[in-house]
């Protein structure tokens, strides 16, 4: 590219990942972060107008409808934000010769298999949220634009609502809590997602011939998650233990968190037992080391506890 800073558009700038992207991508170029008040992703005309006015060289789209259970009763809204909006953004990326970066989820799989899901595994979403995210993946891949799609899992950040903050709130109120112990995955910090994205985009911008050198960069679909594995019950215990060790006054002891099965905790949206993602392709292609989930969650909890 030329010596000028890259123009980067980030959607969902106030969300968990969007907030971290504003930090992580700042050294790479001029960041314009928009949120629903600036550009409602349900409004196709507004999306196209925003992209054409800003003329970004990179479009990064962490914005999403993430209310997994509510999506069962609002599938059209989930599809509009998670599928149609990425399609429109990718179409505009193609028109502008820009790179499209999309984020997806382990929920594109049914979670019924053993082992870690690879990028080549056949998706089979079992809830409306997963179906909407898979539709977004396919729309971006079929758009003709240069793209990176990063599937991640169990994202937790210091900014925004998430599982860790819910557990901390309940731990201050209750002396006993039940948490599902038969769903497995890797809690992934929003900061890790943003930092890896920044590394990939840095490499893209340094590609021989610049960003236009489409043949010099390994575009496509990659799995991005922290190392290791755990379940929601162990994660809840980790959150409470860490908070208590840090001096937080909580009513709940880690040992008072009772392990239950998915069948004992019915939800509107079905969830499979296996959310584990194989990150071999990402690590080997880009030479990355992804830390164990405990590292990122420890850093997130430190930030949350400092702020509250």
Domain ranges (residues) in the chain:
6-162+188-227+276-292
Collapsed DSSP state (helix, strand, coil) of residue 31: strand
Half-sphere exposure of 218 (CA within 13 A, CB side): 11
Query: For residue 307, what pLDDT is reported?
Result: 81
Question: Tens-of-pLDDT digits for all 308 residues of the chain?
Answer: 456 789 999 999 999 999 999 999 999 999 999 998 999 999 999 999 999 999 999 999 999 999 999 999 999 999 999 999 999 999 999 999 999 999 999 999 999 999 999 999 999 999 999 999 999 999 999 999 999 999 999 999 999 889 999 999 999 999 999 999 999 999 999 999 999 999 999 999 988 655 555 567 999 999 999 999 999 999 999 999 999 999 999 999 999 999 999 999 999 999 999 999 999 999 999 999 999 999 999 999 999 998 87
Q: What is the dihedral of CA 108, 127, 136, 117, to 10 degrees?
A: 0
| pLDDT of 40 | 93
**Per-residue pLDDT at 91:** 98
What topology is assigned to 6-162+188-227+276-292 in CATH? Rossmann fold (3.40.50)
- Phi, psi values for residue 271, rounded to 5°: -135, 135
Cα–Cα distance, 45 to 62 (Å, whole number): 19
**What's residue 125's pLDDT?**
98
Q: Annotated active-site positions, please?
A: 129
Report d(CA 198, CA 29) in Å as an integer.
11
Give the pLDDT confidence score for residue 210 in this predicted structure: 52
The answer to pTM > 0.85 is yes
The answer to whether 210 touches 264, Cβ cutoff 8 Å, is: no
All residues at 6 or more sequence positions from 146 whose CB lies less than 8 Å from its CB, including other chains: 93, 98, 99, 100, 214, 217, 219
The rounded radius of gyration (Å) of the Cα atoms in the chain is 19
pLDDT at 209: 59
User: DSSP letters along 123-143, please?
Assistant: P---SHHHHHHHHHHHHHHTS
Distance CA 215, CA 41 (A): 31
pLDDT of res. 211: 52
Q: Note the helical H segments in the chain.
A: 16-24, 44-54, 75-79, 85-96, 128-141, 163-173, 190-205, 232-245, 280-286, 293-307
Per DSSP, 283 falls in state H
């Amino acid at each position: 590219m030329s010596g000028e800073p890259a123009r980067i558009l980030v959607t969902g700038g106030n969300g968990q990942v969007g907030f971290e992207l504003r930090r992580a991508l700042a050294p790479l170029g001029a960041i314009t972060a928009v949120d629903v008040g600036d550009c409602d992703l349900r409004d196709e005309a507004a999306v196209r107008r925003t992209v054409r006015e800003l003329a970004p060289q990179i479009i990064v789209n962490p914005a999403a409808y993430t209310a997994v259970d509510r999506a069962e009763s609002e599938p059209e809204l989930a599809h509009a934000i998670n599928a149609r909006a990425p399609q429109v953004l990718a179409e505009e990326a193609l028109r502008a010769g820009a790179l499209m970066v999309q984020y997806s989820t382990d929920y594109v799989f049914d979670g019924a298999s053993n082992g870690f899901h690879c990028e080549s595994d056949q998706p089979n979403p079992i809830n409306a949220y997963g179906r909407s995210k898979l539709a977004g993946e396919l729309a971006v891949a079929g758009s003709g634009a240069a793209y990176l799609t990063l599937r991640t899992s169990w994202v937790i950040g210091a900014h925004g609502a998430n599982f860790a903050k819910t557990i901390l709130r309940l731990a201050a109120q209750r002396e006993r809590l039940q948490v599902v112990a038969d769903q497995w995955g890797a809690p992934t910090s929003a900061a890790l997602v943003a930092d890896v994205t920044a590394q990939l985009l840095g490499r893209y911008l340094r590609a021989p011939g610049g960003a236009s050198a489409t043949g010099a960069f390994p575009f496509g679909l990659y799995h991005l998650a922290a190392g290791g594995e755990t379940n929601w019950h162990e994660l809840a215990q980790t959150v409470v233990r860490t908070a208590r060790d840090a001096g937080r006054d909580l009513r709940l002891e880690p040992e008072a968190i009772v392990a239950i099965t998915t069948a004992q905790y019915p939800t509107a949206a079905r969830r499979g037992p296996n959310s584990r993602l194989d990150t071999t392709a990402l690590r080997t292609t880009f030479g990355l080391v992804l830390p164990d989930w405990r590292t990122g969650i420890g850093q997130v909890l430190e930030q949350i506890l400092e702020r509250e």
